[in-house]
Amino acid sequence: MPIAIGLEGSANKLGVVQILANLRHTFNSPPGTGFLPKDTAAHHRRWVVRLVKQAMKQAKVRLEDIDCICYTKGPGMGAPLGSVAIAARTLSQLWDKPLIGVNHCVGHIEMGRAITGADNPVVLYVSGGNTQVIAYSAQRYRIFGEALDIAVGNCLDRFARVLNIPNDPAPGYNIEQLAKKGSVLLELPYAVKGMDVSFSGILARVEEMAKKLEASLTSSDGPWRDDETGAEVTTADLCFTLQETVFAMLVEITERAMAHVGANQVLIVGGVGCNERLQQMMGMMAAERNGSVYATDERFCIDNGIMIAHAGLLAHKMGFRTELEESTFTQRFRTDEVLINWRD
């Protein structure tokens, strides 16, 4: 069985993997703040060597057992990607192993397909940096719709900063837990434009609501109440409202893609794909179409090295190599740029 080292570092999670080992370390910034590229890159540089050593020790793999070094070429944040590219290039030269640059999005998709067994699904890829509806055709992953401005994960993360919600284990996860306690559904913009979606206006509106709620807590007029129901509005209600609105938009464009290509399977990948409410809403839609939904848990839907190693090995088996002079990174690496010649 071929063995690869996979280095993932497109954002704040540094992942290193081999067969039987899937190690990850996350850079978490203080509540109310985001992670800066330079700080994230420094985190990756500090941790990459020890994670590689730990992975090899845990997997009981020797240097001569390794077939190739795979790394995230993009898309992602420039400085963290650069740190990982340098690490991968260094290992490739030190150990005289082939280098494989991997598209981050393709890594998510192939990992999801491998873990769930989904045959030929429409893919909803949702993360901090990406929101895309994808289907496979003629050796490419074709993008049917995407976010026109910010990704859905970025929308959730930025709202978590407004609420001063901790970033550990993840801001989106903490919003999800608060949303489970919410019950008042407020009105937010619903921005579906054909097959594309927009989240910046929704974020601006819910941020205004958060400021209104904060002001009401110190006001002598009492708590803020919903105009329609008269119910008292809480922070949990704002999280609930945001989730319900943006997830409904994602379900709509996914269903439209399924109808277009005649698919009855949906595969949800990316960090936001761990969200149980998103899975539930997508499941309700799919059930009405006599279809099914596939998703993975946080071990595989959150950025990790195993997805980069897996996708890299698929390309490696087809003879793909990244030459040293091409072992760069790019913040904008489109999903549909990659030749998927390991599929029919």
176 is in an annotated binding site: yes
Single-letter residue type at 200: S
Q: Is 127 annotated as a binding residue?
A: yes
CB 5 within 8 A of CB 52: yes
| Residue 216 burial by Cβ neighbours in a 10 Å radius (0-12, 13-18, 19+) | middle
For residue 252, what are the CA distances in angstroms to 30, 34, 193, 248, 307? 35, 30, 11, 6, 27
Assess contact for 158 and 34: CB atoms under 8 A. yes
Helices (H), the chain: 37-59, 78-95, 104-116, 152-162, 171-179, 200-217, 235-261, 276-288, 298-301, 305-317
Beta-bridge partner residues of 24: 15
104 is in an annotated binding site: yes
125 is in an annotated binding site: yes
Could you give the count of Cα atoms lying within 13 Å of 189 in the half-sphere of its Cβ? 15
- Give me the DSSP letters along 201-228: HHHHHHHHHHHHHHHHHT-TT-S-B-TT
Residue with token string 């893609």:
257
- Please tell me whether 219 is known to bind a ligand: no
Binding site annotation covers 167?
no
- Vertex 270: Cα angle to 267 and 272 (nearest 5): 100
203 contacts 159 by C-beta, under 8 angstroms:
yes
| 117 annotated as ligand-binding | no
* Nearest C-alpha neighbor of 253 from the set 140, 152, 102, 145: 145
Residue 129 annotated as lining a ligand binding site: yes
Does 108 carry a binding-site annotation? yes
- Annotated binding residues, as ranges? 104, 108, 125-129, 157, 172, 176, 275, 303
Q: Which residues participate in the annotated binding site for substrate?
A: 125-129, 157, 172, 176, 275
Binding-site entries for a divalent metal cation? 104, 108, 125, 303
